[in-house]
Structure 1
Amino acid sequence: MTQVTEHGGGVWSLKVPIPDNPLGHTLVHLLDTDRGPVLIDTGWDDPESWDTLVGGLATLGIAIKDIHGVVITHHHPDHHGLSGQVRAASGAWIAMHPADTHVVRRTRTQVPGQWLDYITAKLTTAGAPAEHLAPLHAARESGRMRTVPGLNSALPDRDITPGELLDLAGRRLRAIWTPGHTPGHVCLHLEEEHPSGLAGNGRLFSGDHLLPEISPHIGLYEDPAEEAVTDPLGDYLDSLERIERLAVAEVLPAHQYPFTDSAARVQELLAHHEERLAGLRRLLAQPLTPWDLAVRMEWNRPWDQIPYGSKNIAVSEAEAHLRRLVKLGHAEAVEGSDPLTYVAVGA
C-alpha cells in the first residue's frame, strides 16, 4: 500500500520508493489547484515507483490522466525520473529551473564514452590511485560502457523563474532559487496561511535543499563541455540564508519528514559546514590531493566500506569544499604538483 499523508489545505505527500537506495523513498507532493492536481516532483523511473505513484493517487480518487502539471525541484532522477511518463499519460506540463533544464538537455545528448573519459580524467587529476582508475580504463578499452544516467529524462516545457509565482490557478506558489545541491534547485514557497494555524509565513516545499536530519550532497557541478569555475558550497550556504529569511511555518521536504523550525535547521547546517571547512583546513597543513582529503573526511561509514560509485561522489564533495576554501583565501593549489595538491594558507 502506498503511504499517503494529508497535510491539510489541499496538500498531500506520497512515499514513492527509490530502488536500492538507503534514502528509501521520495516524498512526492500533490497540490490541489483550480485547474487540477499538480505534482511537486515525481520519483524514480522504475516500474515499482510508477505503480506506487499511480496507486497513491488512486487512493485520493485521482487518475494519472488527471494531473495538470509537474513542478520539479531539481533534475536528479529520484525527483524528475517519472516526469516523462506522467506527461505522456496526462498531457501535463513540466516546469524546471533553466539551469537544471540545461543539465537535462546536455545529459540527453551525452555519449557514454565521452562521460567515461571525463570522469577518468577528473579522478586522475584528483589523485585517485591506479586501482580505483583500473575499472574505468577496462570499461573504456572493452567498450562495455554503461548508459549515462538521465539519458531519457524528460525535457521540461516551462521555465521556473526565480522570485515569481508559478501559474497555478487558485494557489500562491513562489519559486525560490536555491542552488547548491544542483545549479537549478528550487524551493517552492506556498504563500498561504498554514491550515493548522502554525505561526510563520506559509509552507515550503524544500526538495533536497533543507532536510530535517540529512546534510545534502554538495559536489561540483559536473559539465564536460564547460570550464567555468563554480562554487557550489558557497551557493548552498547563501541559499540557506535566503530560505531562513522566509520564516516559514513548516517545511515539507522531499525526504524524511515535515518539520517546523526551519531557522534552527538552517543554523545547524551552517554550523556543520563551518566546522567541516575548519577541519579540512587543519588537514591541509600538509599538501593533499582531493582524493587524499576525501579519504580523511568524515563520512557515514569508514572509507573502505563506501561503494565504488559513492567514493567518486565523495571526491566531488571534497573538491567542492576545496573550491570554497580557495575562494575564501584559506587554501591554494601547490604550483607544479601532479596530481594537483592543495595546502592551507594564512592563520
Structure 2
Amino acid sequence: MTSIAEGVWVVELPLPHRGVVETTNCYLLADDAGGVHLVDPGWDTPDNHARLEAGLTDAGFALDDVRSVTATHLHPDHLGLGSRLRSERGVPVALHRLEHEALTRPLYPEPDETIARWGIPADFVDEVRANVLPRSQPPGLAADVVLEDGDLLPLPGRAVRVVHTPGHTVGSICLHDESAALLMTGDHVLPIVNPGLGLGGFLPDDDPLGLALDSYARMAAYDDAEVLPGHGVRFHGVATRATQIADRHRRRGAEIAALVDADPGASVWQIASRVNWTGGWEALVGFLRLSALSQTEMHLRHLARRGTLGK
C-alpha cells in the first residue's frame, strides 16, 4: 500500500496470469464520514482479497469500512474483486450506464461466425476459438449504481466526477478527483502500454476507434492533474500521453489502409498477419492474437465508415 495524497492510497493487485500488464492499481479513497471507497479493486483471487485487506489495514480501515466500489470498466482485472465484495458484504458497485448494459452482452456473441468472418486458417481455428468462447457469454456481473458523464460519486467530503471516455470499452470512464487534482484513468490512458480498443459493450454499428479519438482529445482539459492509471506508475502530462496513443492508432489505421489497397480481397486474418505489431505477429498467441484480430477489424470498420478504404 502506498499513500498518494491526503486520504488517497493505492494497493497493487496482481493478475492471475502474466501478460502485457501484471498488476492492477486499486485506489482507496477516504471520505469524511469514516468510510473508504475503492476504485478498480482488481481480479478476484484469494491472494488479492488478502492484499486488499492488508492495504486497508495499513490505511487505517477494515473491510467493514468499505462503502462503495467504482470500476472504470467491466473487465475482471478491474471489477472482479468488487463483485465479490458486493455478493459477500453488500458493497454497492458503480459502473457507467453503458457498461452496466454491456454486462448483459457477450464480447463475441456468435463465435463461429466471428471465426469465419475473420478468415482464420484451419490450423489456427482451435487456438482462436479457445480465446473467443470464454468471451461469447455475458459476464454475469451486475451494478447497483449507474453513472453518467458529469456525475459526482457519493463520497462525503470529496468531489470525484465521472468523465465518460469510450474506446477501450463502451462505458469506460475516468474519475477526476477535483479536490485533490487527481485523474484515475483506468485503461483509457496508461503511461507505457497502448491500451486496446473495442474490448466490450460495443454494438455492430458502433465506431470504437472514432469514439476513442474523441475521448483522447477530452484529456486536454485535465492536463494539470496527476494521473493515476489502472496499470503502471503515476505520471503527469495526460494530454501529451493521450495524443501519443491517438497518433499511434492513426498510424496503425494508415498502415491497415495501405495493406487493403495492396490486397483488396484480403481477410482480417491476412491483413492482421501483415501488420507491423510490436514484437511481431508470430509472437502474438492466445489473447494477444485475438486482440490483434479484433483491432484490425475495428480499424477496417472505422476506415470504411470514413469512406477511405480503396482510395
Q: TM-score, normalised by structure 1?
A: 0.82
Q: How does 1:180-219 map to 2 (within 5 A)?
A: 180-192=167-179, 194=180, 202-219=181-198
In the alignment, is the contact (CA less than 8 A) between 1:221 and 1:232 conserved in 2? no
Cross-structure match for 1:334: none
From 272, 280, 287, the equivalent of 1:309 is 287
Q: How far did residue 266 of structure 1 move? A: 1.7
**In 2 relative to 1, CA 220–29 (structure 1 residues): closer, same or farther, beyond 3 Å?**
closer
Q: How far did residue 103 of structure 1 move? A: 2.0
Cross-structure match for 1:58: 57
In the alignment, is the contact (CA less than 8 A) between 2:167 and 2:209 conserved in 1? yes
Percent identity between matched residues is: 34
SS, match of residue 318 in structure 1 = helix
In 1, distance between residues paired with 2:60 and 2:234? 24
Cross-structure match for 2:276: 298
**In 2 relative to 1, CA 221–31 (structure 1 residues): closer, same or farther, beyond 3 Å?**
closer
SS, match of residue 189 in structure 1 = strand
Measured on the aligned residues, the alpha-carbon RMSD in Å equals 2.4
In the alignment, is the contact (CA less than 8 A) between 1:220 and 1:320 conserved in 2? no
Q: How far did residue 24 of structure 1 move? A: 0.9
In 2, distance between residues paired with 1:294 and 1:240? 24
**In 2 relative to 1, CA 138–220 (structure 1 residues): closer, same or farther, beyond 3 Å?**
closer
Amino acid at match of 2:241: R
Cross-structure match for 1:86: 85
Q: Runs of 5+ in structure 2 lacking a partner?
A: none
Cross-structure match for 1:30: 28
1:147-190 deviation line (CA, Å, top 9, x unaligned)? 9677453x111111211212211110110000000000000011
SS, match of residue 161 in structure 2 = strand
SS, match of residue 294 in structure 1 = helix
SS, match of residue 38 in structure 1 = strand
1:173-220 deviation line (CA, Å, top 9, x unaligned)? 11000000000000001112x4xxxxxxx2100000011111101136
Q: How far did residue 328 of structure 1 move? A: 1.7
**In 2 relative to 1, CA 149–64 (structure 1 residues): closer, same or farther, beyond 3 Å?**
farther
Task: Confirm whether residue 161 of structure 1 aligns to residue 140 of structure 2.
Answer: no
In 2, distance between residues paired with 1:135 and 1:203? 41
Q: Runs of 5+ in structure 1 lacking a partner?
A: 140-144, 195-201, 332-343
Task: Confirm whether residue 240 of structure 1 aligns to residue 223 of structure 2.
Answer: no
Task: Confirm whether residue 132 of structure 1 aligns to residue 124 of structure 2.
Answer: yes
Range moving further from structure 2, 312-321 or 48-57: 48-57
In the alignment, is the contact (CA less than 8 A) between 1:295 and 1:303 conserved in 2? yes
In 1, distance between residues paired with 2:130 and 2:9? 47
Amino acid at match of 2:117: T
SS, match of residue 270 in structure 2 = helix
Structure with the greater alpha carbon radius of gyration: 1
In 2, distance between residues paired with 1:213 and 1:188? 20
